[in-house]
Amino acid sequence: MSVNEIPLSLSAEQLITQVPGVVFQFYRSHEGHMAFPYMEGGGGTLAHIDKHQLAHDANNALEQLTGTDYPKLMSAIERSARWMLPLTTRFRLALPGRKILWIAVSATPEPTPTGVRWHGLMMDVSDQVLEEQRLRKLCNTDSLTGLPNRRRLMVQLTNLASLSTRHGTPLSIMMLDIDHFKRLNDRWGHLQGDDVLKQLATLTQSLLRTEDMIARLGGEEFMAILPLTPLKQCHQLADRLRQRIASHDFGVGEGQVTLSIGVAEYRCGEPLTTLIERADQALYSAKDVGRDCVCLLP
Give buried/exposed letters for 211-246 (b at 16+ CB in 10 A, else e): ebbbbbbeebbbbbbbbbbebeebbebbeebbeebe
Residue 194 CB, nearest approach to ligand GTP (Å): 5
Beta strand extents in the chain (DSSP E only): 22-29, 34-41, 87-94, 100-112, 115-124, 171-178, 213-218, 221-227, 259-265, 294-296
- Per the CB < 8 A criterion, the answer to whether 88 and 105 are in contact is yes
| Residue span 123-162 as binding mask against ligand GTP, x where in contact by CB under 6 A, dash where not | ---------------------x------------------
Residue 262 near residue 281 (C-beta atoms within 8 A)? yes
Between 146 and 219, CB nearer to ligand GTP: 219
How far apart CA 36 and CA 24 sit, in angstroms, is 7
Q: Restricting to residues 173-232, which ones interact with ligand GTP according to CB under 6 A?
A: 177-183, 185, 190, 193-194, 197, 219-220
How far is Cα 178 from Cα 200, in angstroms, rounded to an integer? 9
The rounded distance, in Å, linking the Cα atoms of 175 and 69 is 38
| Nearer to ligand GTP among residue 180 and residue 267 (C-beta) | 180
Told to check if 289 binds ligand GTP by CB under 6 A, we report no
Cβ 231 to ligand GTP shortest distance, Å: 23
**Is 220 assigned a catalytic role?**
yes
Closest approach of Cβ 245 to ligand GTP, in Å?
14
Give the residue with the Cβ less far from ligand GTP, 18 or 143. Answer: 143
Minimum distance from residue 15 beta carbon to ligand GTP (Å): 56
| Active site (catalytic) residues | 220
> What are the residues binding ligand GTP (CB under 6 A)?
144, 177-183, 185, 190, 193-194, 197, 219-220, 287, 291
